[in-house]
Amino acid sequence: MNYPDIAGLILDATFDNIDELSKRIAPPIFTPVLDFTVKEYLDLNNLSHVINYDGPVLIIRRSDDEVITTGENHSRATNRGNNLLIGLLKHRFPYLMTTENEFTLNTYLSLNSEEQKDALSKLTHNPNKYEKLVVNFLKSEAFKKQINSNSNSTTCLYPSELGKEISKSDVKTHILFYLVSQYFIESPGSHCVPLEGRYLRPPWSPLTQSLSESSSSDLDAKIDD
């Protein structure tokens, strides 16, 4: 189940799985019944499908989504799109998704756009600082995996070892947030508001970027400069 014919995914106002959303609409006493019914007849586990797809993905979250949030006030913190993003990143980049970085990312996703900008400024975050090195590493890694595989171009690319040899936690955080900026955007409005065209950008993939003269093996040496 690798979906070789899908060139890219844009997931708008999408949740990870329906389990937690189903529990929101019924008293706790019905939880066992809901669990059985959902798993047998309505097992909408989007995350399980996404992590079996290695191609480009863009996740669009609605700022005031009232359908796929589990909190009473439809807060960003309880939007199940967050869980979809985090689950995807944990699968693709396990060495970057440390416990500390997962906590930082969860906090970041609970903020509005202005608060997110402020949070990134406090991290002295420069999203372009590691772009070339990340692209080179992932593209070279994908090339090596394809040489050793008979599969097609959208399989065997992930999980990645990006960050495995990086000892500095702040560097891992900065690289992670560069990737978040490529995988995730927020659109204002509720669940059913028509999506503005400016948010329909092509999903990011390192395979479509130009491989510079820098070798991917230089990643860990250069990021410590």
Give the integer Cα–Cα distance in Å for 96 and 21.
28
pLDDT > 90: percent of the chain: 57
Q: Could you tell me which residue, 207 or 225, shows the higher pLDDT? A: 207
Kindly tell me if the per-residue pLDDT of 96 is higher than 70: yes
> Is residue 126 one of the residues assigned to a domain?
yes
The residues near 3 (Cβ < 8 Å, ≥ 6 apart) are 52, 53, 55, 154
Residue 203 maps to a domain: no
Neighbours of 83 (CB within 10 A): 20
157/53 Cα distance (integer angstroms): 9
d(CA 53, CA 203): 13
> In terms of residue numbers, what domain contains 111?
9-191
More confident residue, 149 or 169: 169
Mean pLDDT for the stretch of residues 57-84: 94
The full DSSP string for 173-203 is HHHHHHHHHHHEEEESS-TTSPPPGGG-PPP
pLDDT of residue 212: 44
Confidence band of 83 (pLDDT split at 50, 70, 90): very high
Q: Give the Cα separation of 93 and 137 in Å (integer).
A: 12
In this prediction, residue 27 carries a pLDDT of 76
Is residue 86 very low, low, confident or very high in pLDDT (cuts 50, 70, 90)? very high
Mean pLDDT across the chain, nearest whole number? Answer: 85
CA separation for the pair 176, 179 (Å, rounded): 5
Question: What is the average pLDDT across 79-108?
Answer: 97
Please indicate, yes or no, if residue 212 is contained in any of the structural domains. Answer: no
Q: For 21-42, what is the mean pLDDT?
A: 78
**Is 139 part of any domain?**
yes
Residue 210 within a domain = no
Cα dihedral sign, 115-118-123-127? positive
CA-to-CA dists, residue 133 to 32, 33, 93, 215, angstroms: 48, 50, 15, 8
Of 206, 220, 210, 144, residue with least CA distance to 178: 206
pLDDT at 6 over 50: yes
The verdict on residue 128 lying in a domain is: yes
pTM of the entire predicted model? 0.85
pLDDT, greater one: 190 or 216: 190
Omega before 159 cis (within 30°)?
A: yes
pLDDT at residue 148, rounded to an integer = 61
Count how many domains the chain has: 1
Asked if the structure places residue 225 within a domain, the reply is no
* Predicted confidence (pLDDT) per residue in 106-164, tens digit: 999 999 989 998 988 887 767 678 899 899 999 999 888 876 655 544 557 899 999 99
Domain for residue 223, yes or no?
A: no
Rg over CA atoms, the chain:
19
User: What pLDDT, on a 0 to 100 scale, did the predictor assign at position 104?
Assistant: 95
